[in-house]
Structure 1
Amino acid sequence: MRYTQLDTPTLLIDREILIENLNYKQSYADINSVALRPHTKTHKMPFVANMQIETGASGITVAKVGEAEVMAANGIKDIFIANENNQGVSPCSFQGHHKGVPRCPYRKGLR
């Protein structure tokens, strides 16, 4: 099948460019001795998040508990939820539902 035959809208990702970009960002973080924790807001895809972690990211950042649940269900264990919890879900109830997540994804002092 040619890409011109795909239904639209269709997301097409050039895997080589994606890998090149992941390696570039990780090497920049490594050179500067910082842990890379990319936010998944641009892709929202567990597959890409796992690629980021395989490349060397220390974990991922998400905006909402629901996004964290999707990522955890796909094997990601180090998840930081960046926004305050206003969804009626206890931060640590997320951890309880996903036993593979080693710690509560909220930092102490955040509500």
Structure 2
Amino acid sequence: MWCSKNIKTSLINWAGKVLYEANLPHFTIHSLRYTNIALQIASGVPLITAAGRAGHSRTSTTTDIYSHFIGTSDNVAANVIDSMFEKKNDQKSQALLKLLNDMESMIYQS
């Protein structure tokens, strides 16, 4: 009967073999997992989706661990809003955009 130690060893050996055969440097399973989740968040994948894929039962676990990447995905959201206002280049839209950008700056400075 297999125990968890045998499964862990097999997984580590398998990952090492895959990385070697792909001519990639050695990475731990943990670093590959961390990078996977971080890239999802930085690419704008909804936090609840990334948390679920990571196996976290609460999104707060994900935000506690990966909070420094959330700012990156927030930049993606800000760029989407910017592009919406750029298409509608009237004075009210530009004033609202400036207000939103100022508010964002104040939030991230604190």
Pairwise same-fold verdict (TM > 0.5): no
Structure whose CA Rg is larger: 2
Task: Give the alignment's TM-score, normalised by structure 1.
Answer: 0.31
Task: Give the alignment's TM-score, normalised by structure 2.
Answer: 0.31
